[in-house]
């Protein structure tokens, strides 16, 4: 979608919210209905309100549009929303397929659950300036109930935050990027592998903020559920398609190896200049705190680079187990670019407002170990203008 088209969507929404109150109230939400225009801004002592105005409209199925609630003003509101929704829908279709493929599922495992009459709702959010941002939120913490939500954020003003490990993390404004959020129904269909994150919108006193969210969800009569192959007997998620009995074996040989007497484990010791073998953190700096843990690190692929003499023969099935599912367990877990290949930020993720943050580089290992010597985080070594 072109930058100018996304600007047009924002502009259209803005023009609606700028209409006089009486004009907007023609489209007011009635009690017990979802669609229409509404604002939560009546201040009440015992109700926690959202500091926002919003307009909610069902866009699909087409024959369920409440045309009486679609604004006539600005005049191109309708065509802009329809064009935008169709474009977003095709992005969503791609995402459902890609997410299924990433779990080795059939492409239609998720999209096939939505039905012919899947719903798409548009929610236009308008957050006025707020003199006490410490007291109110733009939107209270919630998860979306959708499959996927695609959010067009304000071009300049941040506000969205996501709860990650019990901390609120800001979602940055990247002009012309769309934010993809997964909703509860995606969490259900993926048997908990894809999460529907808790998020909220904070208010600020300096500027108003606008966002347009499109929510896509299955047709209400259709039963949805976790994709069969994402469940094993104990109904645990095994999206990686490795049977849980095999995972138990991996845990067991790992435990048995570490339970061996020290002399036995020392046979596989890491040599001074090598990463592979048994040991703990290389003791290279006084500044950093070492992990109090033992580990054994083995290169599994490429196959001809394995140092087989470092692979334990005890427990006897160690080599067989590590080897037998190599692609699924070890390679996927430690997948690195080839050391000779230069990597760097993707060009289209950099612009004037978000200049290049990290240098282009080859063989990150060098930086990684240098950083241990210097007692700093490795990413700080490769960050530009820290």
Ligand X SMILES: O=C(O)CCC(=O)C(=O)O
Which position's Cβ is nearest ligand X? Answer: 211
Binding pattern to Fe ion, positions 95-134, x when CB under 5 A?
Answer: ----------------------------------------
201 sits near ligand X (criterion: CB under 6 A): yes
Cβ–Cβ < 8 Å for 271, 279: no
Question: What tokens appear for 39 in the block?
Answer: 């604002």
Q: How far is CA 39 from CA 20, 28, 69, 125, 347, in A?
A: 14, 9, 15, 10, 40
Cβ–Cβ < 8 Å for 211, 125: yes
Q: Which residues 6+ apart lie within 8 Å of 16 measured at CB?
A: 24, 55, 71, 73, 74, 77, 124
217 sits near Fe ion (criterion: CB under 5 A): no
**By C-beta, is 56 or 382 nearer to ligand X?**
56
Task: Work out what residue 161 binds among Fe ion, ligand X, none; the CB cut-off runs from 5 to 8 Å by kind.
Answer: none
Tell the residue number behind the tokens 């950093």, with chain if given: 288
Q: Between the CA atoms of 59, 60, 66 and 70, what dihedral angle is there, to the nearest 10 degrees?
A: 20
Binding pattern to Fe ion, positions 132-171, x when CB under 5 A?
Answer: ------------x---------------------------
What 331-338 contacts at long range (C-beta under 8 Å, 24+ apart), as own/partner pairs, is 331/300, 331/301, 332/240, 334/300, 336/364
Closest distance between ligand X and the C-beta of residue 125, in Å? 4
Q: Which residues 6+ apart lie within 8 Å of 141 measured at CB?
A: 163, 198, 199, 200
For residue 112, the tally of other CB atoms under 10 A from its CB is 13
Task: Work out what residue 211 binds among Fe ion, ligand X, none; the CB cut-off runs from 5 to 8 Å by kind.
Answer: ligand X
Distance CA 15, CA 332 (A): 49
Closest distance between Fe ion and the C-beta of residue 136, in Å? 17
**By C-beta, is 100 or 130 nearer to ligand X?**
130
Residues 114-173 that bind ligand X (CB under 6 A): 123, 125, 139, 144, 151, 153, 159-160
Binding pattern to ligand X, positions 73-112, x when CB under 6 A?
Answer: ----------------------------------------
Residues 24-53 that bind ligand X (CB under 6 A): none
Q: Is 59 helix (H, G, I), strand (E, B) or coil?
A: strand
Closest distance between ligand X and the C-beta of residue 202, in Å? 10
Task: Work out what residue 12 binds among ligand X, Fe ion, none; the CB cut-off runs from 5 to 8 Å by kind.
Answer: none
Closest distance between ligand X and the C-beta of residue 253, in Å? 45
Tell the residue number behind the tokens 């282009």, with chain if given: 360
Question: What tokens appear for 340 in the block?
Answer: 């000779």
Binding pattern to ligand X, positions 206-245, x when CB under 6 A?
Answer: -----x-x--------------------------------
**By C-beta, is 164 or 359 nearer to Fe ion?**
164
Q: Is 48 helix (H, G, I), strand (E, B) or coil?
A: coil
For the chain, give percent helix, strand, coil, nearest 5: 35, 20, 50
Closest distance between ligand X and the C-beta of residue 181, in Å? 7
**By C-beta, is 144 or 276 nearer to Fe ion?**
144
Total of chain residues touching Fe ion, rule CB under 5 A: 1
Give me the residues that bind Fe ion (CB under 5 A), please: 144
- Point out which residues bind ligand X (CB under 6 A): 123, 125, 139, 144, 151, 153, 159-160, 199, 201, 211, 213
């Amino acid at each position: 979608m072109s930058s100018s088209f996304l600007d047009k969507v924002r502009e259209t929404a803005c023009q609606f919210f700028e209409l006089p109150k009486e004009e907007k109230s023609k489209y007011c939400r009635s009690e017990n209905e979802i669609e229409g225009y509404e604002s939560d801004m009546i201040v009440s002592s015992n109700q926690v309100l959202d500091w926002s105005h919003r307009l909610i409209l069902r866009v699909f199925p087409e024959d369920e549009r409440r045309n009486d609630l679609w604004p006539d003003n600005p005049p191109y509101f309708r065509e802009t929303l329809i064009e935008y929704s169709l474009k977003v829908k095709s992005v969503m279709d791609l995402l459902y397929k890609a997410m299924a493929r990433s779990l080795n599922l059939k492409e239609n495992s998720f999209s096939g659950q939505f039905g012919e009459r899947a719903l798409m709702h548009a929610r236009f959010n308008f957050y006025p300036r707020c003199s006490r941002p410490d007291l109110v939120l733009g939107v209270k913490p919630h998860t979306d109930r959708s499959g996927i939500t695609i959010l067009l954020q304000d071009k300049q003003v941040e506000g969205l935050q996501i709860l990650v490990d019990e901390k609120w993390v800001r979602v940055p404004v990247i002009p012309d990027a769309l934010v993809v959020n997964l909703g509860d129904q995606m969490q259900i269909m993926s048997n908990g592998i894809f999460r529907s994150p808790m998020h909220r919108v904070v208010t600020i006193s300096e500027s108003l903020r606008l966002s347009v969210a499109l929510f896509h969800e299955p047709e209400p009569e259709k039963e949805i559920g976790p994709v069969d192959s994402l469940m094993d007997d104990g109904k645990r998620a095994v999206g990686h398609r490795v049977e849980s009995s095999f995972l138990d074996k991996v845990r067991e040989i790992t435990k048995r190896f570490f339970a061996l007497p020290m002399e036995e484990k020392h046979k596989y010791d890491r040599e001074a200049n090598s990463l592979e073998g048994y040991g703990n953190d290389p003791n290279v700096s006084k500044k950093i705190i070492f992990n109090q843990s033992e580990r054994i690190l083995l290169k599994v692929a490429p196959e001809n680079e394995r140092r087989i003499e470092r692979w334990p023969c005890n427990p006897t099935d160690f080599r067989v187990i590590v080897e037998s599912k190599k692609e699924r367990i070890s390679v996927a877990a430690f997948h690195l670019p080839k050391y000779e290949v230069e990597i760097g930020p993707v060009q289209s993720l950099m612009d004037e407002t978000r200049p290049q943050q990290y240098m282009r580089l080859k063989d990150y290992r060098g930086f990684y170990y240098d950083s241990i010597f210097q007692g700093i985080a490795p990413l700080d070594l490769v960050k530009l203008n820290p």
